[in-house]
């Protein structure tokens, strides 16, 4: 058993902190509150320094196929509230193609992503509780697939060159790449102002070569995509809750009432301590899931446990932070409000804690 | 991006190494052989839940002969000098069996005496502890000294013949079956609280020693013990005079970790899951077909995963020679509070059957659920109350100001 980080991981952590700290200043973050929350400059910077290759095989110029590395990136993006939504692109599209595609044309897409292009996913559907069973259909006619359906919460679809889409067909679940121009896209306004889109597929015709995986491996690839997404979102949640806990510690160590800093009241310090405990739990279950997914493409229970903790930690730490900051916490001139909104988003996407508890319960009571 | 020229194979593994897994398997097999039906039935007797019975003593002697006592002791003192992770695996395996292994005697008091005791103590006491022939009760708490242990008032006055001891201790578990008490007493009345305490080996057959039983919610007997003009020679002092506090605190992290070991709760989870999956309810359904039952199991499962990782990480930190106070306290608080929650969720699953006692018709799982919830509450305040642990987390983990 070994919890030590490889030497390059500590360096990644430190350099990412430096870059993001310089870039995600309050002024800079403010610029994106009313615009499309996507910082092109930051993305180019990360691309030029190779950070988009974390978790990607060396043959593409990446750091190696290790989701722990990619987790560090999402943790740091969360910690600095970076105006970049890269889960669809880096965790879902790049990782799934890397693991399941044997086509050179699909693999070229990974190089494109490393260069800073967006290729995102379109997986979730309104009111579909079971993403492994898409309502979006592909009608197969020889070499042609005709796709009909609606996806939503697709990150950055408006600037994405292509979309990785999950569909059901007579051949079961398929993951296919679709040219974004063939679809109808409309922007959704979400609580944290994350740039997500609704994507309509109205009898779009694509070639069979757009299927990214070997025949019969669609469900396996989709399950891997969903699990990787859950785990990387847990890392995003880890960064967000780490920052909120740090804000609690700093603020309550300074703010004075009744002639002493409020952090010296047990009622306050103990609530902060509970945040620290949640944070430690979230960190460890996320790391376990990432490490296990490295060697086993199906670790659903580990991924569920990570996302359950992420959901609960996001909720509890966010409200503790709000409460312990008093009015300062809701003031938009202070930093906390952005984190609270991001926390709510992380809590609910990729399955809420209650939903994932339900799923985990099904898994562990099956085959008893 | 700082990337090494040659990327190493992913080495990080959060699981037992082959060597550690082998130790676990070896221990499992050993305990299966050790725990005879006679011992099992003795351990069901409320008087012997926590050990001290004849079958228990027999098993301890066997373990002594087989070299399974003294795991944390240095090799030169006759121990196995296992690493913290290996010790954790030992604790885990023992606790899964339910055998009340006397960790405090063998792994806390024993190595302290072997290292800091007088020649007499090393030869007479330490050796016999290693052989499984000798047991200690722990004399720390007093009626007015619990969480604030350093305020203890039991006195040991030095004179020409040794020390004269007077006072009272509370919660002296196992005193009724022990040969000695590991006693903390005040030897300097001028010094600051924790600087005037010394540690003594006090025989329970001294005429000045007496006790009254305290019967607890969990049916576990503990004791109030009384020390009335007990005279011990200087050889019964362990360590330097007035340096007892460092002995008391030296192994607290390992002791706390042993309290919240994930083994027993995982064992219970597995047993309840197995039972629920074969328990038929109305309409030919099984208990595990009910959605709320599944949810309860899932909550326990996700909690155990976190507990396991916290404990493993803590042993890994100890192994690397570092000490992280905040993380040790995280383990204690999270573990002890999770147990309460987990037992509740598991009891809910079996419903009213969880209320039936061991000797009752229809009782389930040896009434483990019925009893465990009665014993669980002591862990949130015992072993360093959780309020103090949270103070430590806020100070050491979040660098917040000291609370008052």
Q: What is the pLDDT of residues B102-120, one digit of tens each?
A: 988 998 899 999 999 999 9
A57-81 pLDDT, tens digit each: 999 999 999 999 999 999 999 999 9
The pLDDT score that the predictor gives to residue B6 is: 41
Note whether A287 and A68 are within 8 A (CB).
Answer: yes
Handedness of CA B397, A331, A18, A121 (dihedral sign): positive
- The dihedral over CA atoms of A53, A57, A63, A69, expressed in degrees to the nearest 10, equals 80
Q: Kindly list the residues from chain B whose CB atom is less than 8 angstroms away from the CB atom of residue A368.
A: 273-274, 276-278, 288
C-alpha to C-alpha distance for B367 and B386, rounded to whole angstroms: 28
Residues of A in contact with B8 (CB under 8 A): 6
Please identify among residues 17-56 of chain A the ones whose CB lies closer than 8 Å to any CB of chain B: 49-51, 53-54
Q: What 8-state DSSP symbol labels residue B352?
A: G
**Cβ of A305 under 8 Å from any chain B Cβ?**
yes
Q: Closest Cα to residue B257, out of B317, B209, B205, B188?
A: B317
Which chain A residues are within 8 Å of B316, Cβ to Cβ? 1-3
Determine the pLDDT at residue B8: 40
How far is Cα B123 from Cα B182, in angstroms, rounded to an integer?
A: 17
Task: Return the percentage of chain A with pLDDT > 70, whole number.
Answer: 100
- Residue of B7, B294, B390 lying closest to A365 (CB–CB): B294
Sign of CA dihedral B351, B354, B360, B363: positive
The pLDDT of residue A102 is above 90:
no
Q: Name the more confident of A364 and B7.
A: A364
| pLDDT tens-digit readout, B189-219 | 999 999 999 999 999 999 999 999 999 998 8
Report the CATH architecture of B138-242: Beta Barrel (2.40)
CB–CB contact B273 A364 (8 Å) = yes
Q: Is the pLDDT of residue A115 over 80?
A: yes
Which neighbouring-strand residues pair with A175? A166
Task: Give the tens place of pLDDT for each residue, B144-180.
Answer: 999 999 999 999 999 999 999 999 999 999 999 999 9
Q: pLDDT digit string (tens) for A162-189?
A: 999 999 999 999 999 999 999 999 999 9
Q: Please indicate if any CB of chain B lies within 8 Å of the CB of A141.
A: no
Closest Cα of chain B to A143: distance in Å? Answer: 40
- Across A270-284, B31-45, B321-335, the highest mean pLDDT is recorded for A270-284
> Which of B7, B272, B287, B302 to substitute to test the interface with A, most A CBs within 10 Å?
B302
Q: Which helix (H) or strand (E) holds B328?
A: helix B325-350
Listing DSSP states for B249-267 in one string gives HHTHHHHHHHHT-SHHHHH
Please enumerate in sequence order all residues whose Cβ is within 8 A of that of A209, keeping only pairs 6 or more positions apart, or say none: A103, A105
Produce one character per residue of B99-131: b if its CB has 16 or more CB atoms within 10 Å, e if not. bbbbbbbbbbbbbbbbbbbbeebbeebbbebbb
Which tokens sit at A200? 């309509």
- Please tell me which residue in B81, B124, B133, B255 is annotated as part of the active site: B255
Mutation choice for B interface testing from A19, A301, A361, A362 by most B CBs within 10 A: A361
Which candidate from A2, A272, A301 shows the least CB-CB separation from B398?
A272
Delimit the CATH 1.20.140.10 region(s) of chain B: 251-397
Chain B residue with the nearest C-alpha to that of A286:
B306
B30-40 residue pLDDT tens = 999 999 999 99
CB distance A272–B391 less than 8 Å?
Answer: no
Nearest to B403 among A248, A264, A365 (CB): A264
Mean pLDDT of chain B: 92
DSSP summary character for residue B145:
B
Q: How confident is the model at residue A349 (pLDDT cuts 50, 70, 90)?
A: very high
> Which residues of chain A lie closer than 8 angstroms to B313, CB-CB?
3, 284
User: Global pTM?
Assistant: 0.95
In B140-289, the DSSP E strands lie at 155-159, 162-169, 180-186, 197-203, 209-215, 221-232, 237-238
User: With contact defined as beta carbons under 8 Å apart, do B348 and B335 qualify?
Assistant: no
Between CA B88 and CA B309 the distance in angstroms is 12
Q: What share of chain A is helix, strand, coil (3-state, %, to 5)?
A: 55, 15, 25
Instruction: Note whether A253 contacts B400, CB cutoff 8 Å.
Output: yes
User: In chain A, what residues touch B13 (CB-CB under 8 Å)?
Assistant: 1-2, 291
Contact A145, A169 (CB under 8 A): yes
Sign of CA dihedral A117, A300, A243, A1: negative
| CB-based burial label for A343 (10 Å; 0-12, 13-18, 19+) | buried
Residue B54 C-alpha, separation from nearest chain A C-alpha, in angstroms: 39
What CA–CA distance (Å, rounded) separates A359 from A301? 9
DSSP for A1-43, please give it: ---PPPHHHHHHHHHHHHHHHHH--HHHHHHTTSS-S--HHHH
- CA B91 – CA B72 distance, rounded (Å): 11
Considering only CB atoms, which chain A residues are within 8 Å of B281? Answer: none
CB contact under 8 A, B7 and A63: yes
Is 50 exceeded by the pLDDT of residue B9? Answer: no
Contacts of B301 in chain A (CB under 8 A): 301, 305, 360, 364
Please state the ipTM of this predicted complex: 0.95
Computed from CA positions of residues B157, B163, B166, B170, in that sequence, does the dihedral angle turn out positive or negative?
A: positive
The top-level CATH class assigned to B251-397 is mainly alpha
Contact A368 B14 (CB under 8 A): no
Interior CA angle at A24 toward A339 and A46, to 5°?
Answer: 115
Q: Which of A266, A272, A357 sits opposite B295 (nearest CB)?
A: A357
Mean pLDDT of A195-222: 97
How large is the average pLDDT for residues A250-254? Answer: 98
Q: Residue A150: pLDDT above 50?
A: yes
pLDDT of residue A304: 98
Measure B309 CA to nearest chain A CA, in Å: 6
Q: What is the pLDDT of residue A314?
A: 98
Q: Domain-by-domain residue ranges, chain A?
A: 7-114, 120-210, 218-365
- Report residue B11's pLDDT band, with 50, 70 and 90 as the boundaries: low
B4 pLDDT more than 50: no
Return the residue in B400, B403, B404 with the most chain A beta carbons within 10 A, the one to mutate for interface testing: B400
Per the CB < 8 Å rule, is B401 touching A261? Answer: yes
Name chain A contacts of B276, Cβ cutoff 8 Å: 365, 368
Q: Are A62 and A55 in contact (CB under 8 A)?
A: yes
Q: Which tokens hold the place of A12?
A: 């990644």
Chain A residues 68-87 with CB within 8 Å of chain B:
68
- What is the tens place of the pLDDT at every residue in B324-380? 789 889 999 999 999 999 999 999 999 999 999 988 999 999 899 999 989 888 999
**Start-end of H helices in B243-324:** 244-250, 252-259, 263-278, 291-319
Question: Which of A1, A50, A277 is opposite residue B312, by nearest beta carbon?
Answer: A1
**CATH H-level superfamily of A218-365:** Butyryl-CoA Dehydrogenase, subunit A, domain 3 (1.20.140.10)
Cβ–Cβ gap A360/B298 under 8 Å: yes
Q: Where in chain B is the domain with CATH 1.10.540.10?
A: 18-134
Nearest residue of B to residue A279, measured between CA atoms: B330
Rg (CA), chain B: 23
Q: Which residues contact B348 (CB under 8 A, 6 or more apart)?
A: B296, B354
What 3-state DSSP class applies to B28? helix
Nearest residue to A347 via CA among A270, A263, A244: A244
Q: Where in chain B is the domain with CATH 2.40.110.10?
A: 138-242
Residue A126, number of CB atoms within 10 A of its CB: 10
pLDDT the model gives residue A6: 84
A177 touches chain B (CB under 8 A): no
Q: What topology is assigned to B18-134 in CATH?
A: Butyryl-Coa Dehydrogenase, subunit A; domain 1 (1.10.540)
Q: How many CB atoms lie within 10 A of CB A49?
A: 14
Q: Name residue, tokens 């889109």.
A: A197
Surface of A (262-281) touching B: CB under 8 A: 263-266, 269-270, 272-274, 276-277, 280-281
For the segment B224-249, the average pLDDT, to the nearest whole number, is: 96
- The hierarchical CATH code for the domain A120-210 is 2.40.110.10
Which A residues in the span 279-298 are in contact with B, Cβ-Cβ below 8 Å? 280-281, 284-285, 287-288, 291-292, 294-295
Find chain B residues with C-beta within 8 A of A267's C-beta.
none
Check whether A26 has a pLDDT greater than 80.
yes
Q: What is the pLDDT of residue B283?
A: 80
Instruction: Give the architecture (CATH level 2) of A7-114.
Output: Orthogonal Bundle (1.10)
Q: Which helix (H) or strand (E) holds B343?
A: helix B325-350
pLDDT value for A211: 97
Any catalytic annotation for residue B255? yes
């Amino acid at each position: 058993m070994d919890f030590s980080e490889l030497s390059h991981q500590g360096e990644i952590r430190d350099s990412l902190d430096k870059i993001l700290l310089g870039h995600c200043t309050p002024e800079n973050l403010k610029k994106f509150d009313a615009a499309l929350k996507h910082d092109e400059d930051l993305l180019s910077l990360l691309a030029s320094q190779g950070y988009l290759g974390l978790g990607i095989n060396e043959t593409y110029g990446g750091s190696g196929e290790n989701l722990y590395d990619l987790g560090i990136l999402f943790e740091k993006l969360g910690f600095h509230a970076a105006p970049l939504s890269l889960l669809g692109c880096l965790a879902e599209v790049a990782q799934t193609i890397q693991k399941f595609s044997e086509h050179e044309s699909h693999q070229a897409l990974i190089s494109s992503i490393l260069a800073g292009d967006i290729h995102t996913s379109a997986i979730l559907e309104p009111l579909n509780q079971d993403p492994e069973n898409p309502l979006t259909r592909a009608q197969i006619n020889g070499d042609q697939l005709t796709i009909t359906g609606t996806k939503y919460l697709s990150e950055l679809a408006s600037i994405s060159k292509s979309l990785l889409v999950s569909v059901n067909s007579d051949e079961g679940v398929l993951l296919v790449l679709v040219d974004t121009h063939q679809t109808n896209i409309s922007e959704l306004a979400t609580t944290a102002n994350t740039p997500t889109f609704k994507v309509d597929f109205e009898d779009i015709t694509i070639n069979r070569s757009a299927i990214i995986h070997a025949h019969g491996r669609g469900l396996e690839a989709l399950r891997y995509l969903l699990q990787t997404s859950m785990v990387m979102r847990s890392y995003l949640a880890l960064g967000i809750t780490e920052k909120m806990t740090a804000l609690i510690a700093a603020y309550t160590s300074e703010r004075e009432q009744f002639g002493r800093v409020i952090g010296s009241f047990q009622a306050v310090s103990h609530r902060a301590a509970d945040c620290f405990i949640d944070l430690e739990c979230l960190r460890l279950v996320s790391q376990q899931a990432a490490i296990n997914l490295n060697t086993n493409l199906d670790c659903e229970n580990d991924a569920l446990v990570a996302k359950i903790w992420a959901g609960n930690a996001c909720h509890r730490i966010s409200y503790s932070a709000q409460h312990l900051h008093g009015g300062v916490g809701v003031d938009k001139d202070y930093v906390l409000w952005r984190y609270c909104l991001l926390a709510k988003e992380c809590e609910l996407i990729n399955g809420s804690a209650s939903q994932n508890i339900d799923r985990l319960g099904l898994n562990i009571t099956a085959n008893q | 991006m700082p990337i090494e020229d040659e990327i190493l194979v992913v080495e990080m593994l959060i699981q037992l190494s082959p060597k550690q897994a082998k130790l676990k398997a070896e221990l499992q097999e050993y305990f299966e052989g050790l725990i005879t039906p006679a011992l099992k039935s003795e351990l069901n007797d409320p008087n012997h839940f926590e050990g001290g019975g004849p079958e228990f003593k027999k098993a301890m002697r066997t373990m002594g002969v087989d070299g399974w006592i003294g795991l944390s002791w240095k090799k030169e003192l006759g121990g196995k000098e296992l690493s913290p992770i290996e010790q954790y695996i030992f604790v885990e395996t023992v606790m899964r069996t339910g055998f009340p292994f006397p960790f405090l005697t063998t792994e806390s008091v024993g190595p302290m005496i072997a290292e800091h005791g007088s020649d007499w103590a090393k030869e007479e006491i330490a050796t016999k502890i290693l052989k499984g022939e000798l047991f200690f009760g722990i004399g720390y708490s007093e009626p007015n000294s619990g969480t604030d242990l350093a305020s203890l008032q039991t006195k040991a006055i030095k004179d020409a013949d040794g020390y004269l001891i007077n006072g009272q201790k509370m919660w002296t578990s196992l005193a009724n079956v022990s040969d000695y008490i590991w006693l903390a007493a005040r030897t300097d009345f001028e010094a600051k609280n924790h600087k005037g305490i010394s540690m003594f080996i006090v025989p329970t057959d001294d005429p000045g020693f007496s006790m009254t039983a305290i019967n607890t919610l969990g049916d576990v007997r503990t004791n109030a013990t009384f020390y009335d003009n007990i005279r011990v020679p200087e050889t019964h002092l362990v360590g330097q005079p007035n340096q007892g506090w460092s002995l008391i605190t030296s192994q607290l992290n390992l002791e706390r970790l042993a309290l919240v070991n994930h083994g027993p709760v995982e064992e219970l989870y597995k047993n309840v899951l197995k039972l629920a999956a074969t328990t038929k309810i109305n309409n030919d359904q099984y208990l595990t077909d009910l959605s709320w039952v599944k949810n309860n199991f899932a909550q326990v499962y996700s909690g155990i995963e976190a507990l396991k990782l916290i404990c493993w990480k803590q042993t890994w930190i100890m192994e690397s020679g570092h000490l992280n106070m905040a993380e040790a306290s995280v383990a204690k608080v999270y573990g002890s509070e999770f147990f309460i929650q987990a037992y509740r969720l598991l009891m809910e699953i079996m419903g009213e059957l969880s209320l039936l006692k061991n000797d009752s018709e229809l009782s389930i799982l040896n009434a483990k659920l019925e009893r465990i919830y009665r014993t669980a509450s002591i862990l949130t305040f015992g072993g360093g109350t959780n309020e103090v642990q949270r103070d430590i987390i806020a100070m050491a983990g979040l660098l917040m100001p000291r609370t008052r």
